[in-house]
Structure 1
Amino acid sequence: MPQNLSTNQTSRIVWLDVLRLFAIFMVICIHCSDPFNVSPEARSNPEFNRWGSIYGSFLCPCVPLFVMITGILLLPVKMSFEDFYKKRLLRIAFPFLLWSVLYNLFPWITGVLGLPQTLISDVFAYAPADASQSFADAARNIALIPFQFNVYTVPMWYLYMLLGLYLYMPFFSLWVERATVKQKRIFLGLWCLTLFLPYAYSFFSPNLLGISAWNSFGTLYYFAGFNGYLLLGHYLANDVREWSWTKTLAVTLPMFVAGYIVTYTGFKTITANPDCSEQEMELFFLYCSPNVALMTAALFLVVRKIKIKSDKLISLLANITKCGLGIYMAHYFVVGLGYALADAMAIPVSLRIPVTAVIAFAICWAFVALCYKFSPKYSKWIFG
C-alpha cells in the first residue's frame, strides 16, 4: 500500500471514511435536488432551474466515488468465490429486499390511513400526483422487485448495479491481481474512450462501432461501465503515489472545473426545455461520462490528502461508515420531510437543497445509529 493508505491505531483507512461521508451526503443532496429538476413546472422556473443545475452538476460524482471505494477495499478479492458471494451478496440482498418492500407498501399505507394521494408525490419526487393507493398495485410492484425498480424505489437502482459488480468482481479480480501497472493503464484508457460514447450516440449516430438494430454490443462494450471506476479506485490508491498539495491542486482544480462546466452547461441547456425527455435530461448527468469522471477523480485525489488526528472525529467518521448503507436505504423516505421543513423555515431557494440534505442526513443517521446501539444483531440484517 502507498503512504496515502496509512491508518490510525485501529487500522482504519481514515480518509476513506471521509470519502464515504462526502459520497453519502452527496447522494442525499442529489435526491434533494429532484424537486428542482424532475417536473416540467420546476424546470421552467428560472430560479429552480438555476439552482437545481448548480447543485445537481456538482453532485454527480457521488455514485462513482462509492464504486471507487469498493474497488480499493475489495480488489483483488482475497477469498473464494463462495465466501465472497456469501459475505457480500447476503450483506446487501436482505436489506435491499426489505427496504424495496417498505417503499412499495408506502402508497397503500397512506390509503389505509386515509391520507391524500398527493402525499405520495410529496415523499417520492418521481411519483405522479394520482399515484395508486391500492394493495394490488403495491403487491404487483413487490413481485417485480427482482427485475426492476420503480418511482417509489428510485435509490434501489444502485443496489441492482452493486449486486452486478459483486457477481463480476471475483472474475475481474483474477486479472487485476496479475495485471501490470501498464496493463491497468491500457484498460483505463480504453474505458475512458467509452465515456464519450453517450454523447456520440446522442449527437452523431446511435449506430456506432457495430451497434445496430440486431446488436447492442459495440467494439468498446467490454471495457464500459462501472467496472472502470472499480479499477480506477484500485489503481489510484495502489499504483499512484500521493502528490504534494501543490501538485494535487494544480492537477485537480482544472479537472474538476472542466468537468463541472460541461456538466452544468449541458444540463442547464437541456433542462431549460420543459419538453425534454428523461433520457435527454440525464445525458450530462450520466455517471459514466468524461465530465463526471473528471470531477470524480479530482475529488478522490483531494480527499486522499486529508489527514485526521482527532480520535473523536475518527470515531465519528467510523460510525457514519458503519451506518452508511442504512442511511442510504432509509433516506428516500425522509427527503420529502426535509424539503417540507426547509420550506416551512422559509429557507432561500439557493440554500434549500443543502439544508434539506442536512436535515435528511441527520434524521437518518440518528435513526440508524440508535438501531445499531439498541439492537446491533437485527440492525445488521435491516441495514446491511
Structure 2
Amino acid sequence: MSSISNPIPERIVWADVLRFIAMFMVISVHCTDPFNISPAARLNPEYNFWGTIYGSVLRPCVPLFVMLTGMLLLPVRQEIGPFYKKRLTRVIYPFLIWSVLYSLFPWFTGVLGLEPSVITKFFVYAGDSPSQAFSDSLHNILMIPFNFTPLSTHMWYIYMLVGLYLFMPIFSAWIKEATDKQKRMYLYFWGATLFMPYLHEYVAKYMLGSCPWNGSFDMLYYFAGFNGYLLLGHYLSKGNDWSISKTLLISGALFAVGYAITYVGFGKMVADPKSTEEQIELFFLYCTPNVFLMTISVFLVAKKIRISSPFWINVFANLTKFGFGIYMVHYFLVGPSFMVVDFLKVPIPIQIPVAASITFAGAWLFTALVYRILPIKAKWIMG
C-alpha cells in the first residue's frame, strides 16, 4: 500500500510477494463489507457466516504492510528533511486527488440524473439515502485535512501512514543505537498493549492511570500502536534459521490460535443485536494479540519464499510500483465487482474472493494504463 522504494540494491523478492499477498488481502477485506455491513446481507445467515470466515482470516493485511515498511525503511538512511519530502509528497498528492474524486462522486451521479441508490451500490457505508448535493460534496472535501468520509473509508490508512512517516526519523535515531535486547524489551511492552482493547471492554473502561481527565494516556500508551509493527518488521528481517517445516508448523499453530480467537469473538459480537460498532470491531482491531499472531505467522512463512523465474520476479516487482495506485482506486471498484458477481450468479461461499479478484485486476489495469498514458506525471496521481 505504501509507495516504498527498496533502498537495498538487490530486490527482496519474498517482500514483493508478501506485498502482493497483503494487497489482495486488503482488497478482500473491503469485499467483505457488503457481507458484514450491509443491513440486507446481515439478515441472511449465510452472508453472516461467510463474512465472518473471510473477514477473520484477512486481518493481518494492514499490519503486514507496516512490517514491510519497517523492514525496508528502518533505520532511516536520509536526513529528516529529504526523507519527509520524498515520502510525504509521494503519498499526499495522490491521497488528495483521490479523496476529492471520492467526495465528488455523489454529486456527479446527480449531474448524470442517476438515483441516489447507485451511490450505496458503490459504497456500502454511504447509507440508505446519500446526498447528491454539491454542498455536501464540498463539505466532505473541506474535511479531508481532518478525516476520511464514508465514501473513502480506506483512506484511514493514509492518515496512519503519514503519522508513521513523521515518526520514523525520530524512532530511527533510537533504533540505530539500540541493542537487540533493548529492541526486544520494547516489543515486550508493545505486546502487553495489544491486550488493552480487551481489558477496556471486559475489565474496566479506564486502566493504568487513564481517567476522564487523562483520556487514553495510560501507563503503556507510549509503547502502543502501529509503531510496534514497524519495529517488529525491522527486527524479524535479520534472518530466521528455522527450517521450512519448523516454520510452517509453528506459524500454522500461531495462525490457528489467532484465527480462532478472531472468528469466535467477531461472530459473537455480530450475533448480538445490542453490540455497538466499537464492540463489533473489537476482535478485528489490528493491534490485538490475535491479529498479531496471524500477522507474524504470515510474515515468517513469506520469508521462506524463493522465486528464481525472471517472469514472476518482474510481475511482483511491477506490483510494488503500482501498489499505491491500486490502493487509491480499488474502492471505486468494489461495488461494481459485486454487481458482476450478482449478474454471474456466483455462489455465496466464493463471492468475496471472486469480487476481490475482479477488483484487484481492474485496479491494476487502470493503474498500469495511467502510467502508460502519463509515464512522468503518473507518480503524482497514483503514487
Tell me, yes or no, whether TM beats 0.5.
yes
Alignment partner, residue 271 of structure 2: 272
What is the 5 A alignment of 1:138-287?
138-216=137-215, 217-238=217-238, 240-287=239-286
- Give the paired residue count: 376
Residue type matched to 2:129 in 1?
Answer: D
User: 2: CA distance between counterparts of 1:316 and 1:39?
Assistant: 35
Instruction: Kindly indicate whether the alpha-carbon contact (under 8 Å) linking 1:120 and 1:127 is maintained by their aligned counterparts in 2.
Output: yes
Q: Deviations 1:319-341 (Å, cap 9, x if unpaired)? A: 11110000000000000011110
Contact 1:43 1:274 in 2 (8 A): no
2:111 maps to 1:112: yes
Distance 2:44 2:272 in 1: 11
> Which residue does the alignment assign to 2:78?
79
Residues 40-75 of structure 1: CA deviation (Å, up to 9, x unaligned): 442232101100000000000000000000001110
Amino acid at match of 1:222: Y
Task: Give structure 2 stretches of 5+ with no counterpart.
Answer: 1-5
Give the aligned partner of residue 313 of structure 1.
312
Alpha-carbon distance in 2 for matches of 1:262, 1:87 = 40
One-letter code aligned to 2:243: S
Aligned to 2:102: 103
In structure 1, distance between residues paired with 2:76 and 2:186: 19
Find runs of 4+ consecutive structure 1 residues off by over 4 angstroms. none
CA distance 1:276–1:42, shift in 2 (3 Å): farther
Match of 1:151, SS? coil
Q: Answer whether contact 1:43 1:272 (CA < 8 A) is retained.
A: no
- Cα distance in structure 2, aligned partners of 1:258 and 1:124: 33
Q: Look up the match of 1:52.
A: 51
Q: CA offset at residue 264 of structure 1?
A: 0.3
- Aligned residue number for residue 3 of structure 2: none
In 1, Cα distance between the equivalents of 2:289 and 2:375? 41
RMSD: 1.2
1:220-251: CA deviation from partner (whole Å, max 9, x where unpaired): 0000000000000000002x424211210121
Task: Tell me, in whole angstroms, the C-alpha distance in 2 between the residues paired with 1:349 and 1:35.
Answer: 12
Offset at residue 372 of structure 1 (A): 1.2
1:377 aligns to what SS in structure 2?
coil
Secondary structure of 1:376 counterpart: coil
- 1: CA distance, partners of 2:241 / 2:314: 24
* Cα displacement (A) at 1:154: 0.3
Could you tell me how far 1:287 is from its partner in structure 2?
A: 0.3
Structure 2 Cα separation of the partners of residues 39 and 345 of structure 1: 20
**Mapped partners of 1:121, 1:251: distance in 2:** 43
| Alpha-carbon distance between aligned partners in 1 of 2:185 and 2:41, rounded to the nearest angstrom | 43
Aligned partner of residue 91 in structure 1, secondary structure: helix
Equivalent positions of 1:1-40 (< 5 A) are 11-40=10-39
Q: Give the deviation of 1:275 after TM superposition.
A: 4.0
Q: Give 2:356's aligned residue.
A: 357
Q: Deviations over 1:318-375 (max 9, x none)?
A: 1111100000000000000111101111111100000000000001101101211232
Amino acid at match of 2:173: L
Contact 1:58 1:260 in 2 (8 A): yes
Q: Are the aligned partners of 1:26 and 1:59 in contact in 2 as well (CA < 8 Å)? A: yes
Moved more, 362-371 or 254-263: 362-371
Residue 257 of structure 1: CA displacement? Answer: 0.1
Matched, 1:301 2:309: no
**Alpha-carbon deviation of 1:101?**
0.3
The offset of 1:286, in angstroms, is 0.1
* Change in CA separation of 1:111 and 1:242 when aligned onto 2, cut-off 3 Å: farther
One-letter code aligned to 2:98: W
Residue 323 of structure 1 corresponds to 322
**How many Å apart are 1:10 and its aligned residue?**
6.9
Cα pair 1:242 1:305 within 8 Å, conserved = no
Q: Which amino acid aligns with 1:368?
A: T
| CA displacement at 1:274 relative to structure 2 | 3.6
1:326, 1:383 within 8 Å by CA — same for their partners in 2?
Answer: yes
Percent identity between the two aligned chains: 55
- Where structure 1 has 5 or more consecutive residues not aligned to the other structure, the ranges are 1-6
1:323 touches 1:368 (CA, 8 Å); kept in 2?
yes
- Residues 81 and 170 in structure 1, CA contact (< 8 A), matched pair in contact too: yes
Distance 2:21 2:46 in 1: 26
TM-score, normalised relative to structure 1: 0.96
Closer/same/farther in 2, CA of residues 104 and 242 from structure 1, 3 Å limit: farther
Asked whether the 8 Å contact 1:37–1:43 carries over to 2, the reply is: yes
Would you say 1:383 and 2:370 are equivalent positions?
no
